[in-house]
């Protein structure tokens, strides 16, 4: 999926630069292609960082829910243990 996304992003950026080339025929196509590749890589790095951030948040939320469940289990188990004694 990420490979397809990167290809789409590259095509969009390259199309933009080729359109710009039509406006300025003195520009170098190889430079525009290099810029397209660099911008595509930067966008993909940004997407990966956002996904990592999402996973970290999910992990924090999962850990928080587990702590709350443990505290609730202790709170429920506490009075029951006292009744047995």
The angle that helices 29-84 and 2-23 make with each other, rounded to 10 degrees, is: 150
The yes-or-no verdict on residue 38 having pLDDT over 80 is yes
Angle, CA 76 vertex, CA 71 and CA 81 arms, to 5°: 115
Which position has the higher pLDDT, 6 or 50?
Answer: 50
Q: Is the pTM of the predicted complex or chain greater than 0.75?
A: no
Strand blocks (E) in the chain: none
Q: Identify the band that residue 68 occupies on the pLDDT scale cut at 50, 70 and 90.
A: very high
Chain centroid to Cα 68, Å, comes to 28
């Amino acid at each position: 999926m990420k490979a397809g996304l990167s290809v789409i992003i590259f095509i969009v950026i390259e199309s933009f630069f080729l359109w710009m080339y039509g406006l300025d025929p003195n520009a170098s196509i190889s430079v525009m292609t290099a810029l397209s590749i660099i911008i595509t890589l930067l966008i993909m790095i940004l997407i990966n960082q956002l996904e990592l951030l999402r996973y970290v948040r999910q992990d924090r939320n999962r850990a928080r829910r587990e702590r709350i469940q443990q505290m609730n289990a202790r709170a429920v188990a506490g009075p029951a243990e006292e009744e047995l004694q």
